[in-house]
Chains A and B, each alone.
Chain A
Amino acid sequence: MAFNVRLNMSYSEFTLDVDLMIPAKGITAIFGPSGSGKTSLLRAIAGLHPKELYKNGQGHIQFGDQIWQSDTVFLPTYKRPIGYVFQESSLFEHLSIQQNLDYGQKRIKNPLPPHERDHIIDLLGISHLLTRPADKLSGGERQRVAIARALLLRPRLLLMDEPMASLDFARKSEILRFLERLKTELKIPLLYISHNAAEVTRLADHLIILDQGKIQQQGPIQDILASHKILNSMSDEPFTLLFGTVMTARTEHNLTEVDLGDALIRMPHHEVKEQAEIRLHLYAKDVSITLSRPEQTSVLNIFDCQIDTIEPPTENGQCLIHLCLKKTRIQARVSAYSCAELDLRPGQKVFAQIKAVSIVQ
């Protein structure tokens, strides 16, 4: 089952023109610069734009066999089986936290049984807040309540508009941890807006890149991240996102071994479970290149690679080199001087030394 969104609407100077196929599972991130129409798209899916905006354009939103919007149908927001988490705190200030959580629950046909409700409240770590008034909570607590309130609706699709934009780093990583647990514990598809590359690479399974109201790219995150242009626009420091399976959680030398499919990577011990699917960040600055296999080196990971392309040097004399490790693509950043000294060329066989790699979490 999939979720199809075809919209063409405009207001003021802005036009949103999209045709999306979103898988009805996992986390789909909508990524793009501010003003690219991310929030407009999410609001359209929720039915929060007035119907009139579609008069001259068209709108078609279908979730499985359920039509939310077409030429003849416009399901109002309160009839769409969604949960929506707004960018800023959206708790009702005249109600307590418990009443906020109950507000939506009371209005659905089959509310969750108590133990599942408690599970969600525990999952988001808000059980100690229930009796407090809404204005006595911190930003992170408010957003967790808002997420719980949306989940208690038993939505078929959860929409989140940068729920962490207003939070500091510590609160952000706290909520990110909850979202990761949501993903594994509750099987609700999530459509998530972000302009933070780290968040996207950490959470998303599917990526939609939006710019000026149009889709630039959409697809599974591996496929999209393989495209260099997008990758570099997402972060100051170029990186590769690697997907792997934990082979050995702790070797006798206190290392963790991860199978990337094309290679086995070793890193200092991390608390991970064997066979767990994990994501790794490999920054271009942590990859160096040698022409012969180095011996007697402290570097743990040395791979046979082939140079794909070499980007022209930047102002500070650095070259970004794209490498193929069998089918996996990685990047190395070397000085333009070394690049010339080693006479690096596309197609050349080289060895990539990986100095550090981090688990995304």
Chain B
Amino acid sequence: MGFSDADLAALWLTFRIASITTILLLIIGTPIALWLARTKSRWKGPIGAIVALPLVLPPTVIGFYLLMAMGPNGPIGQLTTALGLGTLTFTFWGLVIASVLYSMPFVVQPIQNAIEALGARPSEVAATLRAGPWDSFFTVTLPLARPGFITAAILGFAHTVGEFGVVLMVGGNIPGVTRVISVQIYDHVETMAYSQAHWLSGTMVIFSFVVLTIVYTFNRGRRKSGGGYGL
């Protein structure tokens, strides 16, 4: 016995959400990480704390507030309704937005650490060699901090795959739309379909193990060659 069609739909949905979330997070998280790594502003502490909040908050708390904000009476809900998009709760894109917020620290922090470890010197050197800020970011900062970006992408993806509480609050349990792997497993257990639950859960364990092994092996290799970008 293997995966049912519903299981495969859940796997595919989870993969799509995690991929889109990771791409969005790399785009949104990089400037935030750059700012946090370089700023001397007094806002560094509070902004850093907001980014890190999902690390400590129960996922249901984040889910609850997002549900309120994206619902018909929430500010985001009213905005999306005014734009003719309807409300985002219990939709694919609602789930993507929730995942972006929920996985933010797992992407921002490795990038921030890598850029902090580089220091300002490589960018300064690039500036004295006539490279403007964008040029210098793409030709110097990005390649030198690449291990941080790879770690960030892997962790962001893996963490999104593993979310449950936020999904249940914001997305509910709509097959093919918001029913991701973790919710599917929950369903199987509820209906006492333990062997189905085993298949999916086992897959998740192996997936997570492989991902973390890659990340840690990769980082150890970097440290040996003098890189040193921790998680």
| A and B are partners in one complex rather than unrelated chains | yes
Interface positions of A (Cβ within 8 A of B): 46-48, 76-79, 82-84, 86, 90, 92-94, 103-104, 107-108, 135, 149-150, 153
In addition to A84-B125, A104-B129, A107-B131, 9 A-B residue pairs with Cβ atoms within 8 Å of each other are A76-B132, A77-B124, A78-B126, A78-B136, A82-B128, A90-B125, A103-B129, A103-B139, A107-B135
Query: With A94-B143, A94-B144 in contact, is A108–B128 under 8 Å at CB?
Result: no
Contact of B131 among A78, A83, A84 (CB under 8 A): A78
With a cutoff of 8 Å between Cβ atoms, the chain B residues found around residue A93 in the complex are 144
Contact of A107 among B129, B140, B143 (CB under 8 A): B129
Considering the chains assembled together, what is the distance between the CA atoms of A12 and B130 in angstroms?
29
Check B129 against A153 for contact (C-beta < 8 Å). yes
Number of A-B contacts (CB under 8 A): 54
Chain B nearest CB from A107 CB (Å) reads 4
Nearest CB in chain B to that of A77: its residue: B127
Nearest CB in chain A to that of B139: its residue: A103
Check A149 against B129 for contact (C-beta < 8 Å). yes
Considering the chains assembled together, what is the distance between the CA atoms of A103 and B126 in angstroms?
8
Query: With A48-B127, A92-B140, A94-B144 in contact, is A78–B132 under 8 Å at CB?
Result: yes
Query: With A92-B140, A93-B144, A94-B143 in contact, is A86–B132 under 8 Å at CB?
Result: no
Chain A nearest CB from B45 CB (Å) reads 19
Check A83 against B127 for contact (C-beta < 8 Å). no
Considering the chains assembled together, what is the distance between the CA atoms of A33 and B139 in angstroms?
36
Check B140 against A83 for contact (C-beta < 8 Å). no
Nearest CB in chain B to that of A108: its residue: B130
Considering the chains assembled together, what is the distance between the CA atoms of A321 and B124 in angstroms?
48
Nearest CB in chain A to that of B143: its residue: A94
Judge whether B121 is part of the interface by a CB distance below 8 angstroms: yes
With a cutoff of 8 Å between Cβ atoms, the chain B residues found around residue A78 in the complex are 126-132, 135-136
Chain A nearest CB from B170 CB (Å) reads 41
Judge whether B122 is part of the interface by a CB distance below 8 angstroms: yes
With a cutoff of 8 Å between Cβ atoms, the chain A residues found around residue B226 in the complex are 135
Going nearest first, the 3 A-B pairs with the smallest beta carbon separation are A104-B129, A107-B130, A84-B128
Check B127 against A76 for contact (C-beta < 8 Å). yes
With a cutoff of 8 Å between Cβ atoms, the chain B residues found around residue A104 in the complex are 128-130
